[in-house]
Amino acid sequence: MVSFSSNNYLALAHDPRMIAAAREGLERYGVANCESRLLGGDMEIYVNLERKLATLKGKDSAMLYATGYLTNVGVLSALPRSGMLPRVYGFRPTKRHKYAYFSDESNHTSIREGIALSGIPKLTYAHCDMEDLRKKLKSSSATTKIIVSDGVFSMDGDIAPLPDLIQIADEFDATLYVDDAHGTGVIGATGGGIGEHFGVNSPRLISMGTLSKAYGAIGGFIATENYISDTLRFTSSAYGFTSTMPPDQVYAVTAALDIVKNEPERRERLWDNQRYFVERVEALEMPLVSKETCIVPVLIGDEEKCERSAYELSERGFHVDSILYPAVKRGKARLRFNMNAHHTHAQIDELVGALGDYR
């Protein structure tokens, strides 16, 4: 089948240069590292990749994790605990800190699970509703506030209002954590993600990204200020108490970063396909949940009808995900179409024709 469900946005996962780079990593280092980077598993290849990722995000430093899921779970569970580390060395704070998370209701499951593991209170604000976020921040008695949002929301395909989030973080002296998994490598003039898309950055911003989407491999990272990454390396269990990325994946991602930087035509093809698909679906007068990104969900509503539509599309040779409760609210079932740089207009025409038959 032709997949319209893959996160392999730039069609790099099967690129011969990626395969060659991964093969070089396998030949040199074997199939795995088999160690934590805090012990015997640190190598220059990880440090070099972190430097590239920090530069991509305009930050001082970056930290690699084995997956994007582990990144969110590992960082968000550890951030509030990190302040306890200096006490081991005799430091006593002048005031008692009280933490609270402020999380968009549509955030990814890994964000919600990371916050839950922290043991810190969470206040949920309405999706991309900045007034509701302000209201909850204002009413909170927390001394240390952490705002958390997806950059591109995976089920809706819309983009978080990053400039507004930074402004609010400044207003309430808060830290801002943005999961830019679906934006990194895809949006922005050079694929820098949501920050580059809006032309903003902030020392308050911790930018998270994955390497399993636009870059066609596996892994996750945060890009942040040195003092945050230096602390998290010792307090984040998902970094220090598990094996890290396999070396072949580090080689592949390093190659992918150069390909994405040097071949902007890949993003151009991707966005051309996105615009073409949106125009064709709008001509059918089918409701789109969003048309801002390469995730283009078509609202179906009824869950049984949505599942049946996905099955009928598969019978015509197209793999499309049906998104149902609890991933979305009841009555909001949708077909989620993920555009890819290697899709052709002919494939999109055939897909939309099949979609029109089953609406």
Would you kindly state where each structural domain of the chain is located, as residue ranges? Answer: 2-10+264-358, 32-261
- Give pLDDT, residue 92: 75
Rounded to an integer, the average pLDDT of 26-53 is 94
Percentage of the chain exceeding pLDDT 90: 91
If phi > 0 it is left, if psi is from -120 to 50 it is alpha, else beta; for residue 83 that is alpha
Domains 2-10+264-358 and 32-261 agree in fold: no
pLDDT digits (tens, 9 = 90+) for 72-81: 999 999 999 8
Residue 102 scores a pLDDT above 80? yes
Contacts of 54 (CB under 8 A, 6+ apart): 60, 61, 62, 223
Residue 359 binned pLDDT confidence (cut-offs 50, 70, 90) = low
pLDDT digits (tens, 9 = 90+) for 146-193: 999 999 999 999 999 999 999 999 999 999 999 999 999 999 999 999
**At the top level of CATH, which class does the domain 32-261 belong to?**
alpha beta
By annotation, the residues acting in catalysis are 154, 182, 213
Residue 118 scores a pLDDT above 70? yes
pTM: 0.95
What's the CATH fold of domain 2-10+264-358? Aspartate Aminotransferase, domain 1 (3.90.1150)
pLDDT digits (tens, 9 = 90+) for 271-281: 999 999 999 99
User: Distance between CA atoms of 64 and 216, rounded to whole angstroms?
Assistant: 16
Burial environment of residue 196 by CB neighbours within 10 A (0 to 12, 13 to 18, 19 or more) = buried
